Each structure stands twice: as C-alpha cells, then as structure tokens.
A and B are shown apart, each in its own frame.
Chain A
Amino acid sequence: AQSVSQHNHHVILSEAASLELGCNYSYGGTVNLFWYVQYPGQHLQLLLKYFSGDPLVKGIKGFEAEFIKSKFSFNLRKPSVQWSDTAEYFCAVIPSGGSYIPTFGRGTSLIVHP
C-alpha cells in the first residue's frame, strides 16, 4: 500500500517569508498528486493537483508545487506567505489506474505571524 510522508508537522513563519513544505510518497507506479488546505473551522479545499505533464504546478493563492519523480516528492512552495495562509496543509496521493483511493499525509500546521 502507498504511504505519504510530510516531514514538517509544525511550521511557524513571519509574513513575507518563503514557504516550502515537504511531501514524499511511496508508490512505484504512476500517481495523481494533490495538496489540500484546511483553514481554521473550514473544510478541506484543493490547492493544486498534478496528473501529468509539466511537473511544476501552479495553484490558487500563489501556491505552487513541483513533482520530482526520481525523488518521489511533491513539495509545496510559496514565495511570500501571508497571515491568511495560517492553516493545515495535507498532501495526498492517488495511484493511477488502481482503486483511486486517496491516501493523505499527517498534515503540516502552518502559523504565519503578522
């Protein structure tokens, strides 16, 4: 079975700092990759997704992620964070051509100080 590792469990940044959240997965085949965000008191929303093509994916609110197949990674980045980015971030993997069941990482709690 596939697994997803998010190495940063808690991240604290000041506004305007750059952000990179790590995500690694274990699965040898083709995958669909996702980053979700959960703002305080809200439901999970999709930030961005990768199915195929350009490995650099741009999402909403200035977020982007890069798929590096050789490293089994899909790290999330944002050049300059804002206080409103305070949220929990989840990486998810779905094996392609299989059962299509999403597997999630443990999440990263991001706090941005104004």
Chain B
Amino acid sequence: DGGITQSPKYLFRKEGQNVTLSCEQNLNHDAMYWYRQDPGQGLRLIYYSQIVNDFQKGDIAEGYSVSREKKESFPLTVTSAQKNPTAFYLCASSGNREGNTEAFFGQGTRLTVV
C-alpha cells in the first residue's frame, strides 16, 4: 500500500541529545514537509523539500536540520539547540503540481524530552 511511514511512533530524549526522526514515502511525491503540532497552535512548518538534494526552512526551522538525499526519504534531526522540542511531529508529502497538491500525512512521532 502506498503511504508515508514515520518512525519511531514515540521517542524519548535526554536534554542535550540530538535525535533523528525518520520519514519515508512510496507515493512518488516530489515534495515533502515536516510540521510540528502543539496543542492550540495547529501545524507549523519546520522544513520542506520540493526536490531531491534541495530543502528550505519553514516558519520554525531553528534547532532543526533535514536532508533529502533520496526522493523517498526526508529525515528530521532535532538538535540540542531546539529550546522546546517536546511535541508531535508530522511528516507529509505531496505531488507539488497543479491538481495534485493534496498533502498526505504519516502517523506522526511524539517526541518527549526527559
């Protein structure tokens, strides 16, 4: 079945550690996105990539990094520089073309800093 797979579902991190969240899609989509979801704040864009080997900062990129070495994969690293990393992280992808802009989402990763 086509879709987006995020792993792990739950992640615990000690303060000062970097962690990497995985996102893989088999929808053959060009564009991929990372959003952060906090209660009452909706989905805020962290980073996005519209093509392999290229990515751009979103609205809240500070303390995060990404890579896009393969079309299928868009991992997100939450660095120790992120001041408030505890949140629910959602990965999405879309066709990035007129008439094919619907975003598909993964199940999310809940990150807790302990």
On A, residues with C-beta under 8 Å from B are: 6, 9, 32, 34, 36, 42-46, 49, 51, 90, 92, 94, 96-97, 99-107
| A21 CA / B20 CA spacing, docked (Å) | 36
Choose among B42, B45, B48, B97 the residue that contacts A106 (Cβ–Cβ < 8 A).
B42
| A34 CA / B101 CA spacing, docked (Å) | 10
For the A-B complex with A42-B107, A102-B103, A103-B45 known, give 20 more contacts whose Cβ atoms are closer than 8 Å. Answer: A6-B42, A34-B102, A43-B105, A43-B106, A43-B107, A49-B102, A51-B99, A90-B43, A96-B98, A99-B50, A100-B94, A100-B97, A101-B45, A101-B58, A102-B101, A104-B35, A104-B42, A106-B41, A106-B42, A107-B43
A-B contact pairs, 7 of them (CB 8 A): A51-B99, A90-B42, A101-B45, A102-B33, A102-B103, A104-B42, A104-B43
| A49 CA / B40 CA spacing, docked (Å) | 23
Task: Report whether A105 and B42 are in contact in the complex, using a CB–CB cutoff of 8 Å.
Answer: yes
Question: Could you say which residues of chain B place their CB within 8 Å of the CB of A99?
Answer: 50
Question: Could you say which residues of chain A place their CB within 8 Å of the CB of B7?
Answer: none
When A and B form their complex, what is the total count of cross-chain residue pairs whose Cβ atoms lie within 8 Å?
54
B54 shortest CB reach to chain A, Å? 12
Interface string of B73-114 (1 = CB under 8 A from A): 000000000000000001010101111011101111000000
On B, residues with C-beta under 8 Å from A are: 31, 33, 35, 40-43, 45, 48, 50, 58, 90, 92, 94, 96-99, 101-103, 105-108
Question: Could you say which residues of chain A place their CB within 8 Å of the CB of B98?
Answer: 96-97
